[in-house]
Amino acid sequence: MIERDHDHPSVVMWSVANEPASHEKGAHEYFKEIINYTRKLDPQKRPVTIVNIMMANADKDLVGDLVDGLCLNRYYGWYVNLDDLDGAKHDLRVELEKWHAHFPDKPIVFTELGADTVAGMHSLRHAPYSEEYQVDYYQANFEVFDELDYVHGEQL
């Protein structure tokens, strides 16, 4: 991947894993070797990261110290707190504050977030799967992101 893409203009960082079990025993040793090798191969010395799965939250993750930035896949308000956007905002904020407390100098980027919808489905009460709920979901997440200057971006 690095040999192939090292000169591609859209590569801004290397992700060496998507949603690994970075909370399980042995993860730190395993990823330390991979991350160091990735850094060795890149002539431009771009940041290296791992895309974190929700089960490996700030209290359980074992590899956050190895990466240059924290990339999180999170679905508060969808897989967690479905139809409870106030609870989703609270839980998201709490988790982000923990990540920031552990790694105050690392930027956070959301590499996945979203709520599914049935195209054309509408709901006066903004029920899940409606287009209205999807809009509300994104607005709730963006409200939290915009409060925290260490959240540097998101990909829907």
Active site residue: 24, 97, 112, 131, which one? 112
Residues of the chain falling short of pLDDT 50: none
What phi and psi values does residue 110 have, to the nearest 5 degrees?
-90, 115
Give Cα separations from 44 to 36, 73, 74 (angstroms): 14, 26, 30
Active site residue: 19, 95, 131, 143, which one? 19
Per-residue pLDDT, 15: 97
∠ CA 128-143-89, nearest 5°, is 55
Give yes or no: 3 in active site.
no
pTM over 0.95: no
Per-residue pLDDT, 129: 98
Contact residues for 1 (Cβ-Cβ < 8 A; gap 6+): 14
Per-residue pLDDT, 136: 98
Per-residue pLDDT, 6: 87
Give yes or no: 19 in active site.
yes
